[in-house]
Amino acid sequence: MADAKIIDGKAFAAGLRARVADGVAALKASHGVTPGLAVVLVGEDPASQVYVKSKERALVELGMNSFDHHEPADMAEADLLALIDRLNADPAVHGILVQLPLPKHIDTQKVLARIVPEKDADGFHVVNAGLLATGQPGAIVPCTPLGSLLLIRDTLGHDLKGKRALVLGRSNIVGKPMAQLLLQADCTVTLAHSRTADLAGECRRADILVAAVGRPEMVRGDWIKPGATVIDVGINRVPAAEPGKTKLVGDVHFAEAVTVAGAITPVPGGVGPMTIACLMLNTLAAACRAAG
Ligand code: GUN
């Protein structure tokens, strides 16, 4: 069989960002409103710093306001909650993103619950999770699953009815909302995780395989159904062949999988750029709703 089609998330995300930029310009012209996202980073986690910088850069590029709050690692939980209260009340802020993970002394669920659901650009608030789980309109959908779904639809077409989908990983950020989105698209969904019996066998039945476990190259070529669509959400930094160097790999063993799958996202350049583009989309949508 020929090698898989490589799903170009970078190109798709660039197109989406261009459409968001058009939307931003239109909202400015019609309502005099500039969408704004507050990005809250607590502490110095290097990976989080990289993500936060690329989010802030994208906001400015697309004509939106970026309100940056970089706080010390020992920030008190009460002070973080007070900051969220101020951002909730600020009419220039349409979306609030609290970068995860938070330092251990802070209760993540308490902080996420403090964000008003309409400004929850990440879609992590229980109200948005609940709206998504119950199939109601108006849910703000988490960015990585949303971006993954857009890539799946671009690859397989809009109609995913009856496809067997397997989501590997049960996080609130990716696995659970991804399963909900695929279920809403009429897929038959399996949500697998580290305790799943015969994980390889479960994966091998899937027409759509979404890997989001954070384990470098865990999904091997012989776990994949020939012709399947493989979405690799993993971004893992591992030692490279060259001494002292590192490289990024996904949760899927790409070199093996590409010979079996029908289509596959690369790492980097697959799902990663879609996450940021969808964050921009969620922020624009929140600003549009606030503007009426
Ligand atoms: N940490 C890892 N992924 C994410 C994300 O999508 N949003 C936030 N806020 N933090 C993260």
Answer yes or no: is pLDDT of 166 > 70: yes
Q: What is the mean pLDDT of residues 97-123?
A: 98
Residues 6+ apart with CB under 8 A from 135: 184
Residue for token pair 């010979």: 259
- What's the rounded Cα separation, in Å, for the pair 223 and 199? 8
User: Which one of 99, 180, 207, 251 is the catalytic residue?
Assistant: 99
Q: Express each pLDDT in 232-243 by its tens digit.
A: 999 999 999 999
152: annotated binding-site residue? no
Rounded to the nearest whole angstrom, what is the distance from the C-alpha of residue 122 to the centroid of ligand 1?
8
Phi, psi of 132 (to 5 degrees): -65, -45
pLDDT class of 117 with cuts at 50, 70, 90: very high
Does ligand 1 come within 6 angstroms of the Cβ of 143?
yes
Region of residue 48 (left: phi > 0; alpha: psi -120 to 50; beta: else): alpha
Rounded to the nearest whole angstrom, what is the distance from the C-alpha of residue 234 to the centroid of ligand 1?
13
A 10 A CB-CB count for 84 gives 22
Residue for token pair 């062949």: 241
Phi, psi of 204 (to 5 degrees): -65, -20
A 10 A CB-CB count for 159 gives 10
Where are the alpha helices (H) located in 65-174, listed in sequence order? 77-89, 108-114, 126-133, 143-156
Using an 8 Å Cβ cutoff, are 163 and 208 in contact?
yes
pLDDT value at residue 60: 98
Instruction: Locate the ligand 1 atom nearest the alpha carbon of residue 142 and give its number.
Output: 6
Answer yes or no: is pLDDT of 253 > 90: yes
pLDDT value at residue 292: 87
pLDDT value at residue 1: 66
Let me know if 99 is a catalytic residue. yes
Mean pLDDT of the chain: 98
Domains of the chain and CATH, by start: 33-124 (3.40.50.10860), 142-273 (3.40.50.720)
Torsion from C-alpha of 78, 82, 88, 91, nearest 10 degrees: -160
- What's the rounded Cα separation, in Å, for the pair 204 and 164? 10
Q: Express each pLDDT in 54-69 by its tens digit.
A: 999 999 999 999 999 9
Answer yes or no: is pLDDT of 211 > 80: yes
ipTM of predicted assembly, 2 dp: 0.93
Percent of the chain with pLDDT over 90: 99
Q: Express each pLDDT in 77-86 by its tens digit.
A: 999 999 999 9
Answer yes or no: is pLDDT of 140 > 90: yes
Which protein residue has the closest C-alpha to ligand 1 atom 8? 99
171: annotated binding-site residue? yes
Instruction: Locate the ligand 1 atom nearest the alpha carbon of residue 48 and give its number.
Output: 1
- What's the rounded Cα separation, in Å, for the pair 237 and 74? 26
Q: Encoding tokens for residue 185?
A: 């698209």
Task: Calculate the CA 125 to chain-centre distance.
Answer: 15
- What's the rounded Cα separation, in Å, for the pair 268 and 10? 9
Q: Express each pLDDT in 39-52 by its tens digit.
A: 999 999 999 999 99
Instruction: Locate the ligand 1 atom nearest the alpha carbon of residue 144 and give its number.
Output: 6
Using an 8 Å Cβ cutoff, are 264 and 6 in contact?
yes
Answer yes or no: is pLDDT of 2 > 90: no
